[in-house]
Structure 1
């Protein structure tokens, strides 16, 4: 009381404190002097019958008090309200009184209601009967009363579920036993194709799972998307239920509609103990799933070294390829997981294996700028100058992705700087194409051939001009690039600059002696291409530097 009086004016909180403490004098005081309503739910929760009776005495609200009285499980109180006009089949908040008796396991009260004409199979707005509520709240005694008076055990709600479903979902073992002993259909399916057993597994109701199995539940039943109970238990990391299912004959290698087994889901959810349990009971480690990927791939994708170790130690094929021609080692590189890569190598994985487009592990690690993995591969004998189907080396990918430190590392281990791609492109050409000045300088300092040509006769300077890579072009020119070198079509770097409207490049080339009126094999000058592509600024620049405007092709 003293706590409540700290408030300037007593409020609802004060009334709640008074009910909780069973201080009937204060409850009456607050109700009479401050018009504060007695909260009947708190009266039920804290078993304060006296405050409940004060409420009734003050309000004479028979119907409200009738419903609340059921929660106190006092049959004489129920009889009193019925004798004073309480309506037995009237709905209160969507439910008749019998629902409340079932919910609060008020056996004696339920008997009074039934003997006075309560409708046993009455349904609420969701189609549930009082028996559903008894099952959900494990009100065993009340369930027995309802059944003994004709409650329909296999009645379905709007979702096609019976009372047994409610017992399974809420782990009401004792009530489930009552329902089963009176003929509940164990393998009945709801509108979604699920059984009570499915919900028991999903809710991790271990005792209900055992009970249903002992009474004939089909443990290999397939549910939504073809998943079995074992799939669900594995997916939700429920080891105890997985053990129960396996010990009762669950099909360990059963596949769902996506082709996945329980082992797949256990690995995906990083359920180490379930993975071990499934393997020890015969799960197929090398089963292929979507696109030919194995469970090992799933563990790698989750960066789960422990499960990868378990799988490998139990015979997982580390060199198996998926539908794209990639092994699990490939995916370990893609994840940049050094520890898993080391694990694969220590178990004999082929580090020079070719994957999609002929790429090796070293190509991928270089592309992803993973220095540690590249060093690891090289130390185990990876071919540093290996080419993929396009003639690209690891150095090519490091250069293309502007990974300077990787370029230095590969060069220090003997990467061939002047190696060419399928199209004749050198590494320096790639650096120029991506305007990476620092890598260009690095390559040149290690002996890159500045005037090397691709299959079309283009040099690094040609591509710099096309891409307007001014910074890289300066490096090339300062290191002896031939400004007037022609490609297979007789085009110079200036032709390319004019054609691609690379004004800054054109200025740079002209300032270093580019022949403005040079003609290609078709008799065209740089001015011709600038005009052809409507590059007005380029036209003005070329004319200002002496381009012959009357030149004919």
Structure 2
């Protein structure tokens, strides 16, 4: 198994705990409402609970659509983390910033991509999602989607134009991450194939100078090795 660069050790520890994504500690169990403004408070509660009518009422009452709650979440980020499709829709159509990030660098776009919340993801893409935006690990939405083997999400992101060769703070692309943090199962074989077909460069080395093929071979992922060989 390849040696991980010393500079990446701390990040890898964080990845182990947080899933190398926009996920992890951001799954706050406490309410995102942390404001003295009653209308904004109502907006957060409605957004997280999925009450679209209450979201409309709160906005009509003057609630700030970009108000910040617990963890720096906006109402849209709160709705996205709860996968509340209809409240996310109301907020986005009312002009909520799909790229606004909370304190751990999650935006509605990045989180939806990382977690496979595809309906919300499509809405963010239709309303100005920044495809170059990165999470706290320096990765695009495609990288955590690939780590999790979220094939429909990967397809959406590649078709939207997300760079398949973006390198994160661990010196990994989406292809590296699918191999290193995947389990070599059929889902990850298909993930690797989708990334390659989407333009991923199999010749990019990780921070230790190791090729994706060699990372797969070291782990005994023969089917992934075969997919890479067929593309080389």
TM-score of the two chains, using structure 1 as the length reference: 0.34
User: Superposed, which structure 2 residues align to 1:282-297 within 5 Å?
Assistant: 282-297=199-214
Deviation at 1:275, TM superposition (A): 0.3
Q: How far apart, in 1, do the equivalents of 2:93 and 2:121 lie? A: 16
Identify the residue that residue 3 of structure 2 maps to in structure 1.
none
2:219 paired with 1:307: no
User: Superposed, which structure 2 residues align to 1:156-305 within 5 Å?
Assistant: 156-268=68-180, 269=182, 270=184, 271-305=188-222
SS at match of 1:291: coil
Q: How far apart, in 2, do the equivalents of 1:130 and 1:219 lie? A: 31
Q: How far apart, in 2, do the equivalents of 1:295 and 1:232 lie? A: 17
Q: How far apart, in 2, do the equivalents of 1:196 and 1:163 lie? A: 10
CA contact (8 A) 2:105 2:136 kept: yes
SS at match of 2:220: coil
Identify the residue that residue 120 of structure 1 maps to in structure 2.
39
Q: How far apart, in 1, do the equivalents of 2:134 and 2:115 lie? A: 17
**Displacement over 6 Å in runs of 4+:** none
CA contact (8 A) 2:114 2:142 kept: no
Q: How far apart, in 2, do the equivalents of 1:225 and 1:204 lie? A: 18
Deviation at 1:281, TM superposition (A): 1.7
Q: How far apart, in 1, do the equivalents of 2:38 and 2:140 lie? A: 38
2:75 paired with 1:155: no
SS at match of 1:153: coil
CA contact (8 A) 1:187 1:217 kept: yes
Output one character per residue of 1:310-351: Cα deviation in whole Å (capped at 9) or x when no partner: 111211xxxxxxxxxxxxxxxxxxxxxxxxxxxxxxxxxxxx
Deviation at 1:182, TM superposition (A): 2.0
Output one character per residue of 1:261-288: Cα deviation in whole Å (capped at 9) or x when no partner: 1111112212111100111122111211
TM-score of the two chains, using structure 2 as the length reference: 0.78
Q: How far apart, in 1, do the equivalents of 2:228 and 2:38 lie? A: 59
The structure, 1 or 2, with the larger RCO (C-alpha pairs under 8 Å, 6+ apart) is 2
CA contact (8 A) 1:285 1:311 kept: yes
Q: How far apart, in 2, do the equivalents of 1:133 and 1:273 lie? A: 39
Deviation at 1:258, TM superposition (A): 2.1
CA contact (8 A) 2:92 2:123 kept: no
User: Superposed, which structure 2 residues align to 1:16-95 within 5 Å?
Assistant: none
SS at match of 1:224: coil
SS at match of 2:71: coil
SS at match of 1:159: helix
Q: How far apart, in 1, do the equivalents of 2:202 and 2:162 lie? A: 17
Q: How far apart, in 2, do the equivalents of 1:255 and 1:302 lie? A: 21
Q: How far apart, in 2, do the equivalents of 1:119 and 1:265 lie? A: 43
CA contact (8 A) 1:188 1:196 kept: yes
Q: How far apart, in 2, do the equivalents of 1:203 and 1:231 lie? A: 11
Deviation at 1:120, TM superposition (A): 2.1
Q: In 2 relative to 1, CA 291–203 (structure 1 residues): closer, same or farther, beyond 3 Å?
A: closer
CA contact (8 A) 1:171 1:207 kept: no
Q: How far apart, in 2, do the equivalents of 1:171 and 1:193 lie? A: 18
Q: Which has the larger radius of gyration?
A: 1
Q: How far apart, in 2, do the equivalents of 1:179 and 1:313 lie? A: 45
Deviation at 1:225, TM superposition (A): 2.2
